[in-house]
Structure 1
């Protein structure tokens, strides 16, 4: 069985696509580890359950039996319908209870499973919580070790556990940064660093859902740099790239904190304006035209823009919303450019 087939089997009924499973971003890795822990926990507990029963340790047997029952129900729900009875922190907490009780009542050398927990914190918890838990984990296990073992052995164990946790946190920071870089590559235009069309469709879907649910206003402004092809033809693509970079930098400084700015075509851009009606959006678009008109984006030619503006309507799709705005932009260009038109 190939690794991909194994991942697909583990992630049965999950929300992840084939592409995500193939690329294995951090959320998918976390889900795989979470599910594997859910599968193996009842298996690991079963032998301990039998030992406690044979020894007549009724209280401990009851704790293990209850934990086994909960994890089995959780596993069935997870596999059948992707529903979580236990969150990752709660799953780790159950593991912790079983771990400590096993150390103190059955076998003290179970403490060496603590290294697996160190890895589990990184794979199942968010970065900041993982760091906090690893620090607490070293202190808890160090205290247990000094109680159970000679001083020298306990000290070596505690230092090795801390070193392991430190190394994992360094690797975590590297992978977290790598994950952020991958997200930026997937959602940002490499030339201007503006969000791309993929990010635009995601944000428009969110804005449309909020509009339909809470009846909040939302508008979009489509912006086209006038005669951009002529700039490339007459002055070269390097000058065209300079205009695009300067345009994004200039307009980004004018955006409000709630606005989102996207490059979805060569010289075409869109601004999503949350909680903004058509009248206010038109005023903002007019200020954009004036800003670009007064800003020297190029040393070789004056730059202007045309804008189309559309407010979201109840009952219409995102595609229709975009099409209305695109039509308004076409009307602005047909009207002589350097102006705005409303959908």
Structure 2
């Protein structure tokens, strides 16, 4: 854990935004330290009881703090931009404060077990019970909102946190052994490798289109090679959606490339908001976008595409400059390659583009 903290601090200079791992690691490390300290002091009769009490209270405190951090992280995944409302924070911090005050005020007893002495009382059960509850609710939040959570989070963090909760349950049932220390270490390590690993951050940055703020062509090619083919081999149905922006050249020529970039951003934003059931939406070229759907009814895709096209037509970039997006889509057939599916979607897209320019009356070469 110390090594991961040092490594994380070194890599923090290359990373922007919140560092969730650091506070998890500190709480986990502090809990492990006090678990070791109390294991020593509780068996030394010459150590004053007040010292034992304080060390055990710190052990309980960092266990509760760690579980709060984990619960808070789960909430940040589902709240817009990771901003948890202050009134929500006030609720769970108040509950934790009340429980910990009750733990401080309740008397601690030390019982001789088969191998070592251990603390006993209402306080430990309250603290570890609430920490256990925080972890359970956090996992439920992540699982119920897995569509909006990174795949690495649900596949790595949730299983390890379930194992950790089993260890914490053992801690409550068998207080003689400190199962909570390895439990929290497991979760902290999972957070590092699945979420906060700087290498993963760099990879993600390489997969994001910095102009449109959606997945880029690098990500598209990676997914086609590693994800799409595997899912199609497993029998998952694929619907391939391709879009091409209308009016970008006119905006660039008449309003400037800065406004052209703004049009791209607005189109990308509309696609993300409307193509809700898509696995991912990519910008694969200057004015070209692709969305991939798995196991989604064609009618759902059609409704979402129509909604996206309608929203994009409402974008205003200047008087008498028609903008929007022409979209085509195709449903993959059994055994068909993604390349052929893409060709059929592209054909439909160009038909839509021809219809758009024919109806608008604009020269396709100029817009």
| Higher Rg | 1
TM-score normalised by the chain length of structure 2:
0.46
For CA contacts below 8 A with separation 6 or more, give which structure has more relative contact order: 2
